[in-house]
Amino acid sequence: MAKQYHISEEKLKAILLRNSERMKLSNNGQESIKRILTNGDISTLLNELNVYQVELEMQSNELQTSYETLDAERGKFADLYDFAPIGYFIIDHLGMIEEVNQTGINLLGFSGPILRNKRFQSFICHQHLEKFYSFLNRMQNSNEKINTEVKLILANQQVLYVRMEGIVIPSFSSSNIKYYITVIDITESRNAQQLLQETKERLEMTLKASSMGFWSIENGSDQIVLDEYSHDILDLDPLKFNGTLKSFFLLIHPDDQSKVRYSYMYSLNNLTEMDLEFRILTQSGTIKDIATKGQQIVVSEDHKFFAGIIMDITERKKLLREAEDLKLEQQRAVLSATLDAQENERFKISRALHDSICQILYGIRLNLQSLRHYKNHTRDFENVDQLLDQAIRETREISYELTPSVLKDFGFCAGIKEMTIRLSTPEFLIKTSISKNIDKIHPTIQLYAFRIIQELINNCIKHAHATLAEITVRLKNDSITIVVFDNGEGFKTDLTHALRHGSGLRGIKNQVFLLNGNIDFETTSKGTTITITFNKDIHLAV
């Protein structure tokens, strides 16, 4: 339905004046318009009125569309304002809340417009009020945005930590200022930071209590970052340490540098876990045992680094070494007691053979020899005499094998030479080269060394099928070296297997262990050389 418009008389006069050549007014201009209009004038007037009506309708429609568009845009911005992820507040110079969006209302635990005209500082923790007033004061004295963090306590006693950012804008209606403030809830972030800080402090306390430090290396970097505990462990001055891997490797004991450098570079290049122990030389010249572990840490695709811990295990290593030494001493004590018991039993058997059986055999032989002069049984007596001679010789051999009396009576050198004379034959020659001062070592050491050489020579005869054996014994700088060479066939089985299953070699190994010495084998098809070294004063430990 078309809208109806009222045309005033003045408007109508204006229309008529544009057609004045067709109009005749009275002298005083007050005649009624109706009396001077012709039918044509009325028709023209009606047409122009229709045109004006159409123009007014078009303008009205445009205004209506503009109003609707503006209302829609206002609704959009109202929604953005109310449901933005941060709270918007307009506060007057006294701290009264004049405007607030829905997020701000929800943030403070209210609903609807009830929050307006409340003092914002009434929500701030008492301890943070001074911080809030300082925030307002700094906004007044600055044209830039000012920020702060405060603690809020809501009506339900819930605690919030918020970050506030604001600026001062003068009021158009008065001389007072207004504060435009944004408020963001950072409680979760603050709690996470607090938890992270507490975790960091606990970690630092744990590292300090456990003598552990932390290190890290960025991917592709030659710099190693050490924390303060690592500096303490490595006895480093942070101001003098340049942080390069090269400088770090120089701290390591020369004997361990190659191993540590290889392990670090291999783990860094291949992204494998690292777990190694090494020694370092401190600035004071002492040696420390260090253990380190590490692995790759992936923060993001573009941020990866290698990190780990470093520990001082000097005391632990010392205790382990002491425990190992104690274990070895116990093993030596048991082995020494076993060997001593064996030697005592051998001595008893040897003495019994020498003092009893040999003497009886000698007596029988003498009696038979005296009987031979009175009765004509020469051939029979010769056979008996040969058998007795063989029994006496074998008994003496057994007695010597059990306990070589010449060793006790005349010393190590004489004992070895006497053994070589007894065992040498035209098919097997034994040569010796022995230091004369070897007789000055402890008798127990002499006995063990003699037993070792005796067993090695027996092996040459029984297994090596050698024609020559050479025995060399040297005493130099308190160190005794025994070298036994033979030109036999060498070991036919694996050396480890022979040491484990051969009773003779196992006995040699036990005696070398008892002497805290080292044994080395070199064997080929052309012969075998066995070298044994130990300290001459090792008797103090057995």
CATH of the domain at 534: 3.30.565.10
Single residue among 259, 277, 312 that ends a domain in this structure: 312
Ramachandran angles phi, psi of 202, nearest 5°: -65, -40
With 0-12 / 13-18 / 19 or more C-beta atoms within 10 angstroms meaning exposed / middle / buried, residue 319 is exposed
Q: Tell me the C-alpha distance between 527 and 489, whole Å.
A: 6
Report DSSP state, residue 236: -
The answer to whether residue 205 sits within a structural domain is no
Instruction: Let me know whether 217 and 93 are in one domain.
Output: no
Instruction: Let me know whether 24 and 92 are in one domain.
Output: no
Instruction: Measure Cα distances from 376 to 383, 384, 386 in Å.
Output: 14, 14, 17
In tens digits, the chain (542 residues) has pLDDT values of 444 444 455 555 565 555 554 444 444 444 444 445 567 777 777 788 888 888 888 888 888 887 777 776 666 666 667 778 889 999 988 889 988 888 888 888 887 667 778 899 999 999 999 999 999 999 988 888 999 999 999 888 899 999 999 999 887 666 788 999 999 999 998 888 888 888 877 777 766 666 688 889 888 888 998 988 888 888 888 888 888 988 999 889 999 999 999 988 888 888 888 899 999 988 888 899 999 998 888 877 778 888 888 988 888 888 888 888 777 777 767 666 666 666 666 666 666 566 656 666 666 666 666 666 655 555 656 666 666 677 666 666 665 665 666 677 778 888 888 888 888 888 899 999 998 888 888 888 888 888 888 888 888 888 778 889 999 999 988 889 999 999 988 876 666 666 655 556 777 888 888 788 899 988 888 889 999 999 887 654 44
The answer to whether residue 484 sits within a structural domain is yes
The answer to whether 194 and 202 are in contact (CB under 8 A) is no
Instruction: Let me know whether 106 and 184 are in one domain.
Output: yes
Instruction: Let me know whether 354 and 392 are in one domain.
Output: yes
The answer to whether residue 199 sits within a structural domain is no
Instruction: Let me know whether 306 and 346 are in one domain.
Output: no
Instruction: Let me know whether 243 and 300 are in one domain.
Output: yes
Instruction: Let me know whether 347 and 222 are in one domain.
Output: no
The amino acid occupying position 103 is T
> What are the residues whose beta carbons fall under 8 Å from the beta carbon of 455, sequence distance 6 or more?
504, 507, 508
The answer to whether residue 201 sits within a structural domain is no
pTM attached to this predicted model:
0.40
What pLDDT was estimated at residue 454?
A: 85
Instruction: Let me know whether 536 and 415 are in one domain.
Output: yes
Single residue among 258, 278, 312 that ends a domain in this structure: 312
Q: Tell me the C-alpha distance between 268 and 310, whole Å.
A: 16
What's the CATH number where 252 sits? Answer: 3.30.450.20
What pLDDT was estimated at residue 485?
A: 93
Instruction: Let me know whether 139 and 152 are in one domain.
Output: yes
Q: Please give the structure tokens belonging to residue 108.
A: 């403070």
The answer to whether 500 and 506 are in contact (CB under 8 A) is yes
The answer to whether residue 204 sits within a structural domain is no
3-state secondary structure of 252: strand
- CA contacts within 13 A on the Cβ side of 391: 16
> What are the residues whose beta carbons fall under 8 Å from the beta carbon of 105, sequence distance 6 or more?
87, 111, 112, 115
Instruction: Let me know whether 299 and 347 are in one domain.
Output: no
The answer to whether residue 202 sits within a structural domain is no
Instruction: Let me know whether 413 and 516 are in one domain.
Output: yes
**Structural domain count of the chain:** 5
Single residue among 33, 52, 77 that ends a domain in this structure: 77
User: What is the domain range of residue 96?
Assistant: 86-192
Closest C-alpha to 357, from 396, 329, 411, 310: 396
Instruction: Let me know whether 396 and 486 are in one domain.
Output: no
